[in-house]
Amino acid sequence: MKFTKKILALGLSLMMGFGALTGCGGSGGSGGSGDTQSSQEEKTEDGGTAVVAGLICLHDENATYDQNFINGFKESCEAAGLKEGETYFISTDIPEGQECYEEAMNMVDRGCNLIFADSFGHEDYLIQAATENPEVQFCHATGTKAHTEGLDNYHNAFASIYMGRYLAGVAAGMKLNEMIEAGEFTEDEAKMGYVGAFTYAEVISGYTSFFLGAKSICPSVTMDVTFTGSWYDETKEKEGAQALIDGGCKLISQHADSMGAPTACENAGVPDVSYNGSTQDACPNTFLVSSRINWAPYYTYAMNAVKDGKAIDTDWVGSLDNESVLLSDVNEKVAAKGTAEKLEEVKKALIDGSTQVFDTKTFSVDGNVLDSYMADVDTDAEYQGDTEAIKDGAFQESVFRSAPYFDLKIDGINLLDTAM
Amino acid sequence: MHSKTHDKTPVFHISRRTGLPWQKALGIRFAGIVLALVVCGFITMAATGLNPISVYGTMIEGNFGTSRRIWMLLQNMSILLCISLALAPAFRMSFWNLGGDGQALMGALGAASCMILVGDRVPGGVLILLMVLASIACGMLWALIPAFFKANFGTNETLFTLMMNYVATQLVAYFIIRWEVPKGSGKIGIINQSSKAGWFPMIGGNKYLLNVLIVAVVTILVYVYMRYSKQGYELSVVGESEPTARYVGIKINHVVIRTMLLSGALCGVAGLLLVGGTDHTLTTTIIGGRGFTGVMVAWLARFNPIVMVATTFLLVFLQGGSSEITTIFGLNQSFGDIITGIILFFILGCDFFLNYKITRSKTGKEAA
């Protein structure tokens, strides 16, 4: 009992001590918290609103996915003259749960008037924060709900990454053709492997466009897809890629965010198309090419909108044209001859619309050509299709909302471990 | 020959101390914290070049900077404290329940399943009652299984409860896939975001106050239970010495199962408060390892519920503070963990000096 009192007394005195310190800490100038209002009313020299931006990331810069956001964000912020820890903030390792809401509110406390989040599962929590802070703009990458929520300060953004994937697929197809010509395997054995995260539309759209790109060059190609059930799981991604290689896949690509698959490919000497940026430094002998979304154009666009007091698009889609969708340099050591030139040519055709990624003439579903498909564009618990997505002989991806909604299982792609 | 005996004599010797005056105990703890802050300060300067005072200021800012942050601190304390309170009676009984994470996760699953499956079919009050029952039942079940095997077959409860955490995680992962929105995304998101069915009522517009009040009441109840009730006494006797317990006629198996049911029920409540009170979602990481942090909270406080309030505060403060410094100073998340680790090391180190004293050996002096 005596001991108890001692510790209790200690605990209380500690708390008081901390409380007293807080009083000083507040004026200590460690951050702009608390004075949310004043920072929002601050004006820049040319009369615009001063931007204070925050970015919430699922992982830290060790995940290629998050690194891609962090780099783009820093680039845009530095270009706009913002300073880290003062007028822009990055929070990493924020799980897809209540923690995201709390961190968004922390960002508001720090004086942010423009808050970004990078992970799909952050969406609901960002919406919650947006509802409670109508004067702050919230921008969510990869989300699906902005067009149905009806909030003025909540926005989605994505990019036509399926075009980038298609281009990467073209490079893969050329590599396959080269290997066939070299007699490494026959046309019928031309099988690719793909490590996916979830059986979710964004992933399906990604691997299908990659496959169609390869098929446009190497018509006999097929593809096995394995899912890890996680956006970031280095071990599972590595094991998944190894299983695909063991299963006879001649070339690997991925939609998962770690170095797992590229590492497995480098170890096995199998060509690899990575995602979210070049892995050439770590995998010089197998890295072929990589597509990624460049978020800097979006960040700059949103910051300018806040500065000028203009509305941010509910759904913003970046394109090949405005450099939101980028392809890394081709690794000449691995790629087939003439790959870079071919990619330039296909890129032009994609931009001017003469080539459509999801041209219904180029794929079939259960042996049939697709002439109508109701896509699930408005997110609901029943997963019901609500929007006709086939128009002018092609599946219209990222038109009705920014995030992809192509979720068809086309012929030639074999899903290994799913109950879809 | 002479020098050999000289070498053998230890310069210091360690002895157990008793009856340490409280001023001295407080002094030792205070010295421990000051020392921890100084060491952290040096490491901060060496590793990052930042001014340690502004780092500490930011840690305080991160926890107390705004009234919302203070509420967050209280909310996080409530959940961690609730789980720690659940573990304390089992630990006092020398039953090493490392399954707090799993038991709380099952509680969360119980509550979330009610919200998802019957959320739109029953009135609000009935739904919340169902959630309370379901989460407590799920938590109890997850504690009962290892307790039953321990009581009847003498299985190792440490391993058993630990493994049950993984089973719970996988079970929750399965149901998340069953209830995922949108299809294929592997997440549930906020449950009943528009209808708010099963969301606990806010008190005066504050969504954290209810959780804080409930856990405050639970703290007092557990304190009274462990200190003044016959059952609380019985479990202490079992923990001190099973032969004694048997000799005075305590049914050990009975006490083990009863105490673990209590433990599981309280963990279930923690899961309930998270799902119904604040988070309104279900993820495999919703408990966030608090079943393990709770072990530290309970031990640091020697299983005393009132002292646990202070140890909970310490751990939640460090956590909140370290995440704030990583954002403000653009550091890696791991740096916050390093600071937290150092501070905890010194605080745990204090325990050694509270229980033992080091004295210079007199014999050594005499020999010289």
Tens digit of pLDDT at every position of chain A (420 positions) = 444 454 445 444 444 444 444 333 333 333 334 444 444 456 766 678 999 999 999 998 888 889 999 999 999 999 999 999 999 999 999 999 999 999 999 999 999 999 999 999 999 999 999 999 999 999 999 999 999 999 999 999 999 999 999 999 999 999 999 999 999 999 999 999 999 998 899 999 999 999 999 999 999 999 999 999 888 889 999 999 999 999 999 999 999 778 899 999 999 999 999 998 888 999 999 999 999 999 999 999 999 999 999 999 999 999 999 999 999 999 999 999 999 999 999 999 999 999 999 999 999 999 999 999 999 898 877 778 889 999 999 999 999 999 999 999 999 999 997 644
Q: Are residues B313 and B354 both part of a single domain?
A: no
Is residue B18 assigned to a domain?
Answer: yes
DSSP A272-335: EEEESS--TTT-TTTEEEEEEE--HHHHHHHHHHHHHTPPPPSEEEE-TTTTSEEEPPP-TTTS
Please say whether the beta carbons of B142 and B151 come within 8 A.
no
We report the CATH number of the domain holding residue B120 as 1.10.3470
Q: Is B358 left (phi over 0), alpha (psi -120 to 50) or beta?
A: beta
Q: Are residues B344 and B311 both part of a single domain?
A: no
A191-196 vs A251-255, strand pairing mode: parallel
Residues of chain A with Cβ-Cβ distance to B48 below 8 Å are none
The structural domains of chain A, ordered by start, are 39-160+298-303 (3.40.50.2300), 161-293+326-415 (3.40.50.2300)
Q: Hey, which residues does B359 pair with through a beta bridge?
A: B13
How many folded domains does chain B comprise? 2
Please say whether the beta carbons of A91 and A103 come within 8 A.
yes
Residues of chain A with Cβ-Cβ distance to B26 below 8 Å are 6, 9-10, 13
Q: Are residues B207 and B336 both part of a single domain?
A: no
Across the interface, of A34, A95, A383, the residue whose CB is closest to B66 is A34
- Closest by CA to A117, choosing from A109, A128, A126, is A126
The residue to which tokens 């998101």 are assigned: B189
B363: enclosing H helix or E strand: helix B362-367
Per-residue pLDDT band at B14 (split at 50, 70, 90):
confident
Q: Hey, which residues does B14 pair with through a beta bridge?
A: B358
Q: Mention every residue, 6+ apart, whose C-beta is less than 8 A from residue A243.
A: A226
Q: What angle do CA A25, A26, A32 make, to 5 degrees?
A: 125
> Is cis: bond before B182, omega within 30 of 0?
yes
In the three-class reduction of DSSP (H, G, I as helix; E, B as strand; rest coil), residue A30 is classed as coil
Is residue B8 assigned to a domain?
Answer: no
Q: Are residues B205 and B176 both part of a single domain?
A: yes
Which tops the pLDDT comparison, B263 or A32?
B263
Contact criterion met (CB < 8 Å) for A7 and B72? no
Is residue B57 assigned to a domain?
Answer: no
pLDDT per position as a tens digit, B173-216: 999 999 988 887 888 989 998 899 999 999 988 989 999 999 99
Please say whether the beta carbons of B205 and B69 come within 8 A.
no
CA distance A6 to A22: 24
Across the interface, of A91, A97, A197, the residue whose CB is closest to B327 is A91
Cα of A132 vs its chain's centroid, Å: 26
Q: Are residues B306 and B338 both part of a single domain?
A: no
Q: Are residues B318 and B343 both part of a single domain?
A: no
Q: Are residues B314 and B357 both part of a single domain?
A: no
Amino acid A11: pLDDT:
47
Q: Are residues B241 and B365 both part of a single domain?
A: no
In the three-class reduction of DSSP (H, G, I as helix; E, B as strand; rest coil), residue A114 is classed as strand
Is residue B130 assigned to a domain?
Answer: yes
Q: Residues 42-101, chain B: which have Cβ within 8 Å of A?
A: 53-54, 56-58, 60-66, 68-69, 72
Residues of chain B with Cβ-Cβ distance to A120 below 8 Å are 185, 187
Q: Which two tokens stand for residue B92?
A: 């006092």
CA distance B232 to B243: 18
Is residue B322 assigned to a domain?
Answer: yes
Q: Are residues B360 and B272 both part of a single domain?
A: no
Amino acid A35: pLDDT:
41
- Closest by CA to A268, choosing from A254, A289, A247, is A247
The CA-atom distances, in angstroms, between A169 and each of A25, A264, A273, A416 are 55, 20, 8, 20
Please say whether the beta carbons of A138 and A157 come within 8 A.
no
Q: Are residues B319 and B349 both part of a single domain?
A: no
Is residue B6 assigned to a domain?
Answer: no
Amino acid B8: pLDDT:
65
Q: Residues 303-332, chain B: which have Cβ within 8 Å of A?
A: 304, 306-307, 309-311, 313-314, 317, 323-324, 326-330, 332
Q: Are residues B244 and B204 both part of a single domain?
A: yes
A191-196 vs A222-227, strand pairing mode: parallel
The residue to which tokens 């050509």 are assigned: A369
CA distance A316 to A150: 15
Please say whether the beta carbons of B211 and B199 come within 8 A.
no
Proportion of chain A in helix, strand, coil states, percent, rounded to 5: 40, 20, 45
- Long-range contacts of A244-250, Cβ-Cβ distance < 8 Å, separation of 24 or more: A244/A193, A244/A194, A244/A195, A245/A193, A245/A270, A247/A193, A247/A416, A248/A189, A248/A191, A249/A191, A249/A192, A249/A193, A249/A224, A250/A176, A250/A179, A250/A184, A250/A185, A250/A189, A250/A190, A250/A191, A250/A192
Average pLDDT over residues B335-344: 88
Q: Which two tokens stand for residue B207?
A: 């969504």
pLDDT per position as a tens digit, B79-100: 999 999 999 999 999 999 999 9
Amino acid A399: pLDDT:
92
Q: Is the pLDDT of residue B347 over 90?
A: no
Which range of residues forms the domain containing residue B44? 14-50+330-368
Is residue B5 assigned to a domain?
Answer: no
Is residue B74 assigned to a domain?
Answer: no
Q: Are residues B286 and B338 both part of a single domain?
A: no
Residues of chain A with Cβ-Cβ distance to B333 below 8 Å are 60, 92-93
Please say whether the beta carbons of B214 and B273 come within 8 A.
yes
Contact criterion met (CB < 8 Å) for A128 and B307? no
Q: Hey, which residues does A91 pair with through a beta bridge?
A: A56
The CA-atom distances, in angstroms, between B31 and each of A321, B35, B36, B102 are 63, 6, 8, 37
pLDDT per position as a tens digit, B111-168: 999 999 998 899 999 999 999 999 999 999 999 999 999 999 999 999 999 999 999 9
CA distance B138 to B107: 5
Q: How far is A7 from chain B (nearest CA, A)?
A: 6
- The interface predicted TM-score (ipTM) is 0.85
Amino acid A45: pLDDT:
67
In the three-class reduction of DSSP (H, G, I as helix; E, B as strand; rest coil), residue A358 is classed as coil
